[in-house]
């Protein structure tokens, strides 16, 4: 955690926020530090009636309400080793088998790290499909949006982090990437701290090849990564000038609340770039909360695009006040590499939004 980001963004205690109280956090014990980066330590709630403690591990603060439950659920990932040889890892992969937490995590890291960083990998073949969907989508989204005022930027659901580094190259303020996936955000933090990407690139089945490559970004000193929930961001209203969230809308349990949270943290005149393939799954989002993808008999025949537009132009009963659609692409291509012989193509809906009443 960069002290500069902590000081500028003034995070609020997530526990207190969940009870409707705003209380500031302060930096407590610091056990490990490198320059202005706190690698291990704790943040404390300043309110006498709360005094919750939020750990900072491997440079990443865990800023969620119910931090004990989060730690319990994520202990395996918080304690995961990254010093094993690929020989030892392959034995753990074979031993735990397909579908194990170990191999599922490797699969996710493989797909996301490939898209985010394989363009920097001299070993990566130049053939199709091309990595870098996040960068192309960000560039097109910012083009649709036009300018935003000065101020900090947030990437919500930053995964392994490349978009946040690219946001810093295109926007002058501080950039914060937040996510709740420990393995993914640890990879992002490693890029920040070590200037290196290390990821398991899936070949086939449970066969993965370890890739290590340098990844240094000139504006990395303005980037930081925190664990925080998209539905309960630990910030005061109107903290950010820019919010970017690529392919997250259809991964959260409450998509309307997610849009509302973006509206809340954006300052007046600020802007947001969102993309989504509306790839709903009941495991992530209950069907009643899907934006489209159900109720084929209704006026939109189950289509997501008119539904999301009506949420943003105020004509839907559950409309999101404070966000207005200013540009969109209906068909933004996005490849997800699954393994050496399998790639999936999403066609995303890309949305540029402006903070302000419809």
SS3 of 46-102: the string is CCCCCCCEEEEECCEEECCCCHHHHHHHHHHHHCCCCCCCHHHHHHHHHHHCCCCHH
- Phi, psi dihedral angles at 154 (to 5 degrees): -125, 140
Q: Does 67 bind ligand SAM (CB under 6 A)?
A: no
Kindly state whether residue 233 participates in binding ligand SAM, applying the rule CB under 6 A: no
The reply on whether position 12 binds ligand SAM by CB under 6 A is no
d(C-alpha 201, C-alpha 11), whole Å? 35
Residue 118 in the binding site for ligand SAM (CB under 6 A): no
- Smallest distance from the beta carbon of 250 to ligand SAM, in angstroms? 8
Nearest approach, Cβ of 71 to ligand SAM (angstroms)? 16
> What is the nearest approach in angstroms of ligand SAM to the Cβ of residue 245?
7
Of 229 and 328, CB closest to ligand SAM: 229
Binding of ligand SAM by 308 (CB under 6 A): no
Whichever of 52 and 227 has its CB closer to ligand SAM, that residue is 227
Rounded CA-CA distance 47/53 in Å is: 11
Strands 60-61 and 196-204: unpaired
For ligand SAM, which is the closer residue by CB, 184 or 267? Answer: 184
> Is there binding between residue 229 and ligand SAM (CB under 6 A)?
yes
- φ, ψ of residue 14 in degrees (nearest 5): -60, -35
320 binds ligand SAM (CB under 6 A): no
Whether residue 138 contacts residue 167, with contact meaning beta carbons closer than 8 Å, is answered with: yes
> Taking Cα atoms as reference points, which of 352, 299, 351 lies closest to residue 330?
351
Q: Give me the helix-helix angle, 101-117 and 86-96, nearest 10°.
A: 130
- For ligand SAM, which is the closer residue by CB, 103 or 105? 105
Least distance to ligand SAM from the beta carbon of 227, Å? Answer: 8
Q: Please identify, among the stretches 41-49, 85-93, 172-180, 208-216, the one whose residues bind ligand SAM according to the rule CB under 6 A.
A: 172-180
| Residue 161 touching ligand SAM (CB under 6 A) | no
Question: Whose Cβ is closer to ligand SAM: residue 65's or residue 358's?
Answer: 65
Residues 165, 140 contacting (CB under 8 angstroms):
no
**Which of 67, 71, 92, 231 touches ligand SAM by CB under 6 A?**
231
On whether the CB atoms of residues 225 and 156 are closer than 8 A, the answer is: no
Q: Which residue has the tokens 């704790």?
A: 42
Distance CA(134)–CA(114), nearest Å, equals: 11
- Alpha carbon of 341 to those of 111, 128, 337: distances in Å? 13, 11, 9
CB of 73 to ligand SAM, least distance (A): 13
**Under DSSP, is residue 223 helix (H, G, I), strand (E, B) or coil?**
strand
Q: What is the DSSP string of 7-48?
A: HHH-PBPHHHHHTT---BEEEEEEEEEETTEEEEEEEEE--T
**Residue 166 is a binding residue for ligand SAM (CB under 6 A):** no
CA separation, residue 230 to residues 109, 251, 254 (Å): 20, 10, 10
Instruction: Confirm or reject binding of residue 180 to ligand SAM (CB under 6 A).
Output: yes
Q: Which residue is nearest to ligand SAM (CB)?
A: 157
Q: Which is nearer to ligand SAM, 107 or 181 (CB)?
A: 181
Residue 159 binds ligand SAM (CB under 6 A): yes
119-148 residues in contact with ligand SAM (CB under 6 A) are 134
Among 55, 61, 157, 322, binds ligand SAM (CB under 6 A): 157
- In order of 89, 100, 113, 170, 327, the CA distances from 107 in angstroms are 13, 11, 10, 30, 34
For ligand SAM, which residue of 45, 167, 189, 230 counts as binding (CB under 6 A)? 230
Footprint on residues 247-286 left by ligand SAM (CB under 6 A)? 247-248, 251-252
Question: Is residue 184 a contact residue for ligand SAM (CB under 6 A)?
Answer: yes
Chain residues binding ligand SAM by CB under 6 A are 112, 115, 134, 157, 159, 178-181, 184, 229-231, 246-248, 251-252
């Amino acid at each position: 955690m960069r002290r500069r980001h902590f000081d500028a963004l003034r995070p609020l205690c997530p526990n207190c926020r969940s009870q409707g109280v705003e209380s500031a956090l302060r930096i407590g014990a610091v056990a490990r530090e490198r320059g202005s980066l706190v690698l291990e330590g704790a943040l404390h709630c300043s309110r006498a009636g709360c005094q919750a403690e939020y750990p900072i591990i491997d440079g990443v603060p865990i800023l969620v309400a119910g931090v004990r439950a989060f730690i319990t659920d994520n202990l395996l990932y918080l304690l995961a080793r990254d010093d094993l040889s690929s020989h030892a890892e392959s034995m753990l992969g074979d031993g735990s088998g397909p579908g194990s937490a170990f191999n599922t995590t490797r699969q996710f890291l493989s797909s996301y790290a490939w898209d985010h960083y394989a363009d920097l990998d001299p070993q990566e073949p130049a053939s199709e499909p091309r990595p870098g969907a996040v960068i192309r989508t960000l560039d097109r989204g910012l083009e649709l949006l036009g300018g935003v005022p000065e101020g900090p930027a947030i990437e919500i659901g930053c995964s392994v982090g490349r978009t946040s580094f690219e946001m810093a190259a295109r926007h002058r303020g501080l950039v914060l990437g937040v996510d709740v996936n420990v393995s993914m955000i640890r990879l992002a933090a490693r890029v920040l701290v070590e200037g290196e990407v290390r990821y398991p690139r899936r070949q086939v089945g449970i066969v993965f090849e370890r890739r290590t490559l340098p990844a240094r970004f000139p504006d990395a000193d303005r980037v930081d990564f925190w664990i925080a929930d998209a539905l309960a961001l630990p910030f005061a209203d109107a903290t950010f000038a820019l919010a970017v969230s690529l392919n997250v809308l259809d991964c959260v349990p409450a998509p309307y609340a997610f849009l509302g949270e973006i509206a809340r943290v954006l300052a007046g005149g600020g802007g947001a770039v969102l993309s989504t393939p509306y790839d709903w799954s009941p495991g992530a989002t209950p069907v009643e909360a899907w934006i489209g993808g159900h109720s084929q008999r209704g006026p939109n025949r189950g289509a997501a695009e008119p539904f999301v537009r009506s949420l943003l132009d105020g004509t839907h009963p559950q409309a999101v006040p404070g966000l207005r659609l200013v540009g969109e692409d209906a068909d933004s291509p996005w490849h997800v590499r699954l393994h050496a012989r399998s790639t999936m193509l999403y066609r995303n809906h890309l949305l540029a939004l402006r903070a302000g009443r419809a």
